[in-house]
Amino acid sequence: MVISSAQEMGQQAAEQAANFGRKAGSKLARKAAGRMAKSIKKLVVTLIKKFLIAAVKFVVAIVGAEGIVFFLALLIFSAILMAIPFADWFLKGGERTQAEETADRQYEQQFRDLSAESVAAIDNEEASETWKATLKNIVIPSWAIPVSLVRYQISHSDEKITLPDPKEIFANLEPTFTYMTVTDDIEYTKTITSCYRVVQVRDSRGNVVKDSNGNPITTTVDDPPVKSVTSSKMPSRKILSKVEIPFGTTEIPSAKRYYPGGSYEPNDEWQLMGTSSVGRCTTTTYKRWEKTMVDDRGIPETGFDAEKFKEFLVSKGVKEQNLDEFFEYLKAADPDFPVELYAGEYQEGDSLYTNADYTYTGEIIDGWVWPIAIDYRGINSSFGPRWGKFHYGVDLGGRRWPNAPILAAKAGLVIWAGARGTYGNLVVIAHEDGLQTRYAHMSAITVKEGEQVKAGQQIGKQGSTGHVTGPHLHFEVAIPNKKNPMAPMSQAEKAFDPMIFLGPLQDK
């Protein structure tokens, strides 16, 4: 645009010069005027070109080449944004018609319906309604996930978006149910048969008593009831044993229950099934049942792997650097969505997966147990030089196991239970053989100073207090400083690699 007007200006100047020549009248003068017009045109174009180059150089000097590139990119980006339909669909301030808003809600409703549908199988279990509702809440693929994926795709695509099929997005979110076959259900049947006899009434001398018509008077006498109990196997049945979601597994415990009543302890309750009479005998039938059922006495625990969830999002096209943005969509879509859990940033003291009354049932090798109650027996960071310092312990556990029980690695006396500098919440146990163990960064401590603890006894919960980058257990073993048992490890008489003691307990 600018260039072409420069040419126009040159053209104008040339025409003016030509007019001047025509006024002069002579052919020669016109020729001279023509040459003059050409050179004036050339001069004007050159001047304008020079001016433009100078102007561009000036702008580059002020805002820099990046500035110009940025400005152009901004222009292109706005053009693209305007080209995407629904770009402002989910974004605040988007103007939607009534009909479009209804369509939006219907689209979102499909996700809610699919969520509910995907956990409907839980309703088939014979368990308390509260338990079923709780389990559903644990394993339901939140509709907020697919809804947020759509929002993300819309705001990040530079192409016209076709809204994805909800079923397709759901394909990797639905829980899968595993069942076990129960074959040892027993049905007990008890029958009580009572018969009576008709006897003639006799007087004290043994003579039959007769009525006024001379007929013997009769009465009935009950025979002792005959009781029988039989048992039979019931048809095999399937009960829920495991629910897997892509980010964790929920094991469903089972237990024997006694019906009627459904108590977990054997009893002698029977259910009356009915009575039938044949002749002088009446039979009453009762039943009771012994069945293996899902154990609905507690809320099952679910291991949750936030990293796996993030991998899933990345596989769906969410860029790793945009995960925080995605979690914002989740919060906006569903205020009840447990974002912290899915993002791996649970709150300290979060009771969701706390195992408050933990009992150790694992192995004790030479008096030692693995000091964190998780099924993973590996180390995240070993004993030795690290980042220019010396790491006096091993790091165990991690964010996959929020609030996992921390256990006394060996029997001993608690000599410290509380916050201590970079250790955060710390427990220190003195052992009879002169060794000392330290457990750092806990979210909660469940023992007191002066308490004698057994190997495997819970002393606290894994956390991220003190100087940490994430939740884990920092575990140390040492012969402490004789004068000051609480002195830093660098002053201990000897700091050991804890794996010397935990090695035999480690995963092979």
Write out the residues near Zn ion by the rule CB under 5 A.
395, 474
CB of residue 507 vs Zn ion: minimum separation in angstroms?
Answer: 19
Alpha carbons 83 and 85: distance in angstroms, whole number: 6
Are 87 and 155 a contacting pair, CB within 8 Å? yes
Are 239 and 293 a contacting pair, CB within 8 Å? yes
CB of residue 456 vs Zn ion: minimum separation in angstroms?
Answer: 22
Closest CA to 56 of 42, 48, 5, 4: 48
Alpha carbons 96 and 213: distance in angstroms, whole number: 102
Alpha carbons 127 and 135: distance in angstroms, whole number: 11
Measured from the CB atom, is 399 or 474 closer to Zn ion?
A: 474
Are 209 and 202 a contacting pair, CB within 8 Å? yes
Measured from the CB atom, is 125 or 395 closer to Zn ion?
A: 395
CB of residue 495 vs Zn ion: minimum separation in angstroms?
Answer: 12
87-91, long-range: CB within 8 Å, 24+ apart, which pairs? 87/154, 87/155, 89/154, 90/150, 90/151, 90/154, 90/155, 91/155
CB of residue 251 vs Zn ion: minimum separation in angstroms?
Answer: 30
CB of residue 376 vs Zn ion: minimum separation in angstroms?
Answer: 16
Token pair of 463 as six digits: 């956390």
First CA to last CA across the chain, in angstroms? Answer: 74
Measured from the CB atom, is 261 or 503 closer to Zn ion?
A: 503
Asked if omega into 260 is within 30° of 0 (cis), the reply is: yes
Helical H runs in 247-402?
A: 306-315, 323-333, 339-343
Measured from the CB atom, is 45 or 442 closer to Zn ion?
A: 442
Q: What residues does 381 pair with on adjacent strands?
A: 395
Task: Indicate the burial class of 243 (C-beta count within 10 angstroms; 0-12, 13-18, 19 or more).
Answer: buried
The residue sitting closest to Zn ion, measured at its beta carbon, is 474
DSSP state of 434: S
Measured from the CB atom, is 242 or 377 closer to Zn ion?
A: 377
Measured from the CB atom, is 411 or 427 closer to Zn ion?
A: 427
CB of residue 474 vs Zn ion: minimum separation in angstroms?
Answer: 3
Token pair of 492 as six digits: 């201990």
CB of residue 392 vs Zn ion: minimum separation in angstroms?
Answer: 8
Measured from the CB atom, is 352 or 487 closer to Zn ion?
A: 487
CB of residue 381 vs Zn ion: minimum separation in angstroms?
Answer: 6
Is residue 238 helix, strand or coil? strand
CB of residue 468 vs Zn ion: minimum separation in angstroms?
Answer: 8
Measured from the CB atom, is 296 or 395 closer to Zn ion?
A: 395
- Please report, for residues 244, 265, 504, the alpha-carbon distance to residue 141 in angstroms, rounded to integers and kept in the order given: 11, 35, 40
